[in-house]
């Protein structure tokens, strides 16, 4: 389990609300830890079919779907795949990635998130774009692309927990933002609720027993300079999120009401031309 989580830099401000205020955990069909582990395995230069097959078996739903698709008429197999290993070999990397994405969509593919006005699977559409941008940005700071991708994919999962509370106090939040034009959306969250969606998302990641660096990347994706030893990963996710918010795809009511950390831009040596290239690359990835 995440024994080092307690040593991570603390949340930025506001303290932690009483236990249970925002629910003890998300009620989801599957925790994404297995799927994130699989993504990491598949992106590893040392990957092998046996370890991938073992990881697939850890999610019974994914294993069943892999067997079903491998034995479907569309695959045209002469003999039935009777083991997960045979199914994984038959599917190939691209189809297995598509199955993993479908499973992750069960986590992030809510039709709507109240409070943030994210409709038509807006969180999912934003998440896959942020993840793709993370993958392109990762080499700039020597971060493993698979780690960056996974962290970017889950960066805003806390919105699933905080959304209904934002919705219930929406007028207060709007007034707060109107009174102070310099206040960011996450700062307003902390003032109203004592916690922001990034911290809630990180707490959820801890419950899912995700790695410490993923938890930190989620927690500090709006404040990467506060991420201590995890600053490089947090910087990548911060920049990816900022880039994708600027495109407007999957953008919610929080819109562009976030602060871009100049130190993060400098740390990644990011130019305007780089930004255009990464946005174009992401468009190609998700097309």
Q: How many CB atoms lie within 10 A of CB 36?
A: 24
CA 33 to chain centre: 12
Dihedral sign (CA 128, 129, 130, 135): positive
Q: Which single residue is written with the structure tokens 């795949």? A: 81
Could you read off the pLDDT of 219-275 as tens digits, one per residue?
A: 999 999 999 999 999 999 999 999 998 887 766 777 768 899 999 999 999 999 999
pLDDT digits (tens, 9 = 90+) for 137-165: 999 999 998 889 989 999 999 988 888 88
Nearest Cα neighbor of 137 from 272, 269, 236, 277 is 236
Contact in structure between 218 and 154 (CB atoms under 8 Å): yes
DSSP category for residue 29: S
Q: Residues 18-67: pLDDT tens digits?
A: 445 565 445 555 567 788 888 888 877 788 888 999 999 988 888 999 99
- What is the band of 115 on the pLDDT scale with cuts at 50, 70, 90? confident
- 128 or 73, which is more confident: 128
pLDDT recorded at residue 8: 39
Confidence (pTM): 0.79
Percentage of the residues of the chain whose pLDDT score is greater than 70: 87
Is residue 101 very low, low, confident or very high in pLDDT (cuts 50, 70, 90)? confident
CA distance 247 to 126: 10
| 79 exposure class (CB count in 10 Å sphere: 0-12, 13-18, 19+) | exposed
Determine contact, residues 125/249, Cβ cutoff 8 Å. Answer: yes
CA angle in degrees (0–180, nearest 5) for 211-144-40:
60
pLDDT of residue 260: 93
> How confident is the model at residue 175, as a pLDDT?
92
Question: SS3 for 113?
Answer: strand
How many contiguous H segments (helices) and E segments (strands) does the chain have?
14, 2
Mean pLDDT lowest for which of 2-16, 105-119, 150-164?
2-16
φ, ψ of residue 118 to 5 degrees: the values are -100, 110
* pLDDT of 3 higher than 70: no
Domains of the chain: 28-108 (no CATH), 111-287 (1.10.3210.10)
- Is the separation of the CB atoms in 252 and 189 below 8 Å? no
Coil, strand, or helix at residue 206? helix
- Running DSSP on this structure, what letter comes out for residue 135? H
């Amino acid at each position: 389990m995440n024994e080092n989580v307690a040593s991570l830099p603390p949340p930025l401000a506001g303290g932690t609300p009483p236990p249970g205020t925002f629910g003890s955990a998300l009620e989801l069909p599957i925790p994404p830890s297995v799927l994130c582990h699989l993504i990491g395995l598949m992106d590893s230069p040392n990957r092998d079919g046996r370890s991938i097959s073992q990881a697939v078996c850890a999610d019974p739903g994914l294993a069943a779907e892999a067997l079903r698709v491998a034995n479907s008429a569309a695959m045209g197999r002469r003999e039935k795949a009777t083991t997960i290993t045979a199914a994984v070999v038959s599917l190939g990397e691209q189809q297995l990635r598509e199955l993993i994405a479908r499973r992750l969509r069960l986590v992030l593919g809510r039709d709507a998130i109240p409070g943030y006005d994210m409709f038509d699977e807006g969180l999912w559409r934003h998440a896959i774009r942020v993840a793709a941008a993370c993958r392109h940005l990762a080499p700039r700071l020597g971060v493993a692309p698979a780690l960056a991708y996974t962290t970017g994919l889950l960066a805003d999962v806390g919105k699933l927990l905080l959304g209904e509370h934002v919705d219930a106090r929406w007028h207060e939040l709007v007034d707060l933002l109107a009174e102070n034009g310099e206040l960011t959306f996450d700062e307003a969250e902390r003032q109203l609720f004592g916690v922001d969606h990034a911290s809630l998302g990180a707490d959820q990641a801890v419950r899912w027993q995700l790695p410490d660096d993923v938890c930190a990347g989620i927690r500090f994706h709006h404040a990467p300079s506060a991420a201590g030893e995890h600053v490089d990963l947090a910087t990548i996710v911060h920049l990816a999120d900022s880039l994708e918010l600027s495109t407007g795809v999957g953008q919610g009511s929080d819109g562009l009401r976030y602060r871009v950390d100049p130190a993060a831009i400098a740390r990644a040596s990011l130019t305007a031309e780089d930004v255009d290239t990464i946005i174009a690359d992401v468009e190609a990835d998700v097309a």
